[in-house]
A and B are shown apart, each in its own frame.
Chain A
Amino acid sequence: MSIRIAGIDKTYGPKGPGHTRALEPIDLDIANGELVGLLGPSGSGKTTLLRIVAGLEQADGGTIHFGERDVTQVHVRDRRIGFVFQHYALFRHMSVFDNVAFGLNALPRRDRPSSAQIRSRVMQLLEMVRLTDFASRYPAQLSGGQQQRVSLARALALKPDVLLLDEPFGALDAKVRQELRRWLRHLHGELGFTSLFVTHDQEEALELSDRVVVMSNGRVEQIATPDTLYRRPGNRFVFEFLGEVNRLEGDVSHGVLTCGAARLAVPGLDDGRHELLLRPHEIRLSERPSAGAHLPVSVSAVVPVGAEVRLELEADWLGEPWQASVGHAEFDRLDVSRGRRLYAVVSQLHRFDAAKPQTLTLEPAV
């Protein structure tokens, strides 16, 4: 079922000058069957928005529709949502089976399925979350990942119109998180529920979502597919929040940026002072300066991580060291070690100080 959020806003505490606004008026349309991630740092209002959609908190203004149904004034228990909490919020005095069956048992008598039907529905859900053997256990006897799967089965038991997840994997360790993420993606593909989830982890948002809503300070910064978000960030905040960022600041004259000993040809930039941003993978290293770039750096740290090697680059003309990532082949070819002097070659630069964000593509990667 689609979700339509229109003009939802929320202010905590007394109204008036100096108050903190948790949510600026927000509009968001989520299509039927879509999996949308709310991404932002803590205090960005993402959890508040999710709780308002759930009905656990009241907005000051605006409307929420599930499909054609206006649920703005509907109590949380009648909204037909499934909600998954960060810390599972399982009923600890009930077995796994009773936890999952809770929603079905809570139905008014005329809507409640027979206990045999409840039993088969619960076992089917437990099979889906691969916990059939744990039906008679108590939550305290399960690992965090298992508890969160129980909580998901419990949320899905009533076939909710929408599934809302509040930092569902936030309390789990990295490996389990990765596993559950893939599993949830798979489950979503299978069942096709409409889902909205909150996370502060960019990787999680980019991996799970059909679309990501990036939020900060109660505002929506950008709504886009993960691919667009990463390649064409709408503003500087989004660019900085989605990954590591290197800064280059200098004066441009006649298409050449100068910054201390560094020179870089930047065709198409106006004269004047500019601040340019670039990702670690947009830096290549070379033993000689190229025609367009004279960026002498020295390697100050080497961290091999998985498929690539992360390098920290220092130079007099840099305020903060740059982070660069190179492949192992290139790493070996250049014989990189701490203290090695090399030249940086830049393939792309991003600019956010103009009215519109701009991406400059320079010489092709070596």
Chain B
Amino acid sequence: MIANPLTRGRERRVLPGFGLSLGVSLTFVSLILLLPLTSLVGQLSTLSLSQYWFLITDPRVVASYGVTLLAAAVAALFNAAFGLLMAWVLVRYEFPGKRLVDALMDLPFALPTAVAGVTLATLYSSSGWMGQLLAPLGIDVAYTWVGIALAMAFTSIPFVVRTVQPVLEDLPAEVDEAAMTLGATDGHAFRKVLLPYLWPALVTGTGLAFVRSLGEFGAVIFIAGGKPYETEITSLMIFVKLQEYDYAGAAAVASIVLATSLALLLVINLWQGRFIKRLHGGRP
């Protein structure tokens, strides 16, 4: 006879509080994560398939996908490079004020995104400090997709820095030195030793930053300008539909953002799991 795995587990478990802690966790997961998702699905169920298809392929919405994806991709790539650099500086060098810079890295998380949005819009508008400098060069940031990407990059930079930093700290300086004693140039050592080692963390961080940017609203909305077909992002489309009390329409567009984000996170997780296994001794 096979014992009930739950009761068997309870008999053998030494750590106390399993039932209570798991119960509380599941309750909150349901309330905070699953319930809203369920209501989203509920809203969608009021639509027929053809209505759904019509809503999500509305040319104005499709244009917003393009703008959002492009801006988020640019922001994520920028953050991949800048975040790697930032993590490198914070781990490998000692300088006065290092702790402060380290703390500043979390600012985009702590700052209300709307504050960030207003600040960026003011800075980069044609009369703002940065805008004034860039305008003569023919670069418009505010109210273009560049501005959107900038706002997205600002809010998602901590994802890259904070995922790469601990992995880099874990990599002993000896490994760099070993590459050098074997005659590797800096470029070769970076490409063959450092980058492959950081790759999983970097991809994860960049992926998280990208997914975060896809749904960014507060920071982007002030600098985006919201010109239909040009600088409208998908989350703005959802907002517009909500204001028109078109809950089903909003849910339809939101479901696209959700599906994209979930699919990306899943792919990143699966891929990263394979790589981590190799580093820690599983068969490749």
A173 at the interface (CB under 8 A from B): no
Which of B57-65, B80-88, B155-163, B276-284 contacts its partner? B276-284
Which residues of A (59-78) have their CB < 8 Å from a CB of B? 76-78
CB distance from B9 to the nearest CB of A (A): 30
CB distance from B202 to the nearest CB of A (A): 13
Which residues of A are found within 8 Å of B184, using beta-carbon distances? 77, 102-103, 106
B 172-202 binary contact with A (CB < 8 Å = 1; else 0): 1011011111111100100011001100000
- Structural contact, B185 and A77, CB atoms closer than 8 A: yes
Which of A78, A91, A157 is B193 in contact with, Cβ under 8 Å? A91
Which residues of A are found within 8 Å of B185, using beta-carbon distances? 77, 106
Return the chain B residue nearest A85 by Cβ: B174
CB distance from A36 to the nearest CB of B (A): 19
Which residues of A are found within 8 Å of B177, using beta-carbon distances? 56, 76, 83, 85, 89
Number of A residues near B (Cβ < 8 Å) is 30
CB distance from A351 to the nearest CB of B (A): 44
- Structural contact, B281 and A155, CB atoms closer than 8 A: no
16 inter-chain pairs at a CB distance below 8 angstroms, sorted by A residue, are: A56-B177, A56-B181, A82-B181, A85-B178, A87-B172, A89-B175, A90-B178, A91-B175, A92-B279, A93-B278, A93-B279, A102-B184, A102-B192, A103-B184, A140-B278, A140-B281
Which B residues contact A (CB, under 8 angstroms)?
172, 174-175, 177-185, 188, 192-193, 196-197, 275, 278-281, 283-284
| Separation of A81 and B183 alpha carbons in the complex (Å) | 9
Which residues of A are found within 8 Å of B182, using beta-carbon distances? 77, 102-103, 106, 154-155, 157-158
Which residues of A (265-297) have their CB < 8 Å from a CB of B? none
- Structural contact, B278 and A138, CB atoms closer than 8 A: yes
Which residues of B are found within 8 Å of A107, using beta-carbon distances? 183
- Structural contact, A140 and B175, CB atoms closer than 8 A: no
With contact pairs A77-B185, A106-B188 given, residues A92 and B178 touching in the complex (Cβ less than 8 Å): no
| Separation of A82 and B180 alpha carbons in the complex (Å) | 10
| Separation of A85 and B279 alpha carbons in the complex (Å) | 19
| Separation of A93 and B279 alpha carbons in the complex (Å) | 6
Which residues of A are found within 8 Å of B180, using beta-carbon distances? 56, 76-77
CB distance from B132 to the nearest CB of A (A): 46
A54 at the interface (CB under 8 A from B): yes
Return the chain B residue nearest A80 by Cβ: B183
Q: Which of B178, B180, B275, B284 has the most CB of A within 10 A?
A: B178
Which residues of B are found within 8 Å of A91, using beta-carbon distances? 175, 178-179, 192-193, 197
| Separation of A339 and B179 alpha carbons in the complex (Å) | 60
A 121-144 binary contact with B (CB < 8 Å = 1; else 0): 000000000000000001011000
Return the chain A residue nearest B200 by Cβ: A93
Which residues of B are found within 8 Å of A151, using beta-carbon distances? 178
Which of A81, A92, A105, A140 is B181 in contact with, Cβ under 8 Å? A81
Closest 7 CB pairs of A and B: A140-B281, A103-B182, A89-B174, A83-B181, A106-B184, A89-B178, A93-B196
Which residues of A are found within 8 Å of B280, using beta-carbon distances? 140
| Separation of A35 and B180 alpha carbons in the complex (Å) | 23
Which residues of B are found within 8 Å of A155, using beta-carbon distances? 181-182
Which residues of A are found within 8 Å of B284, using beta-carbon distances? 138
Return the chain B residue nearest A98 by Cβ: B192
Which residues of B are found within 8 Å of A78, using beta-carbon distances? 183
Return the chain A residue nearest B186 by Cβ: A77
CB distance from B283 to the nearest CB of A (A): 8
- Structural contact, A83 and B178, CB atoms closer than 8 A: yes
- Structural contact, B279 and A106, CB atoms closer than 8 A: no
Which of A82, A93, A102 is B179 in contact with, Cβ under 8 Å? A102
| Separation of A105 and B177 alpha carbons in the complex (Å) | 17
A 105-117 binary contact with B (CB < 8 Å = 1; else 0): 1110000000000
With contact pairs A87-B172, A92-B197, A106-B188 given, residues A76 and B179 touching in the complex (Cβ less than 8 Å): no
Which residues of A are found within 8 Å of B181, using beta-carbon distances? 54, 56, 76-77, 81-83, 155
Which residues of A are found within 8 Å of B183, using beta-carbon distances? 77-78, 80, 103, 106-107, 158
Which residues of A are found within 8 Å of B179, using beta-carbon distances? 91, 102, 106
Which residues of A (206-229) have their CB < 8 Å from a CB of B? none
| Separation of A103 and B189 alpha carbons in the complex (Å) | 11
Which residues of B are found within 8 Å of A93, using beta-carbon distances? 196-197, 275, 278-279
CB distance from B219 to the nearest CB of A (A): 36
Which residues of B are found within 8 Å of A141, using beta-carbon distances? 281, 283
Return the chain A residue nearest B193 by Cβ: A91
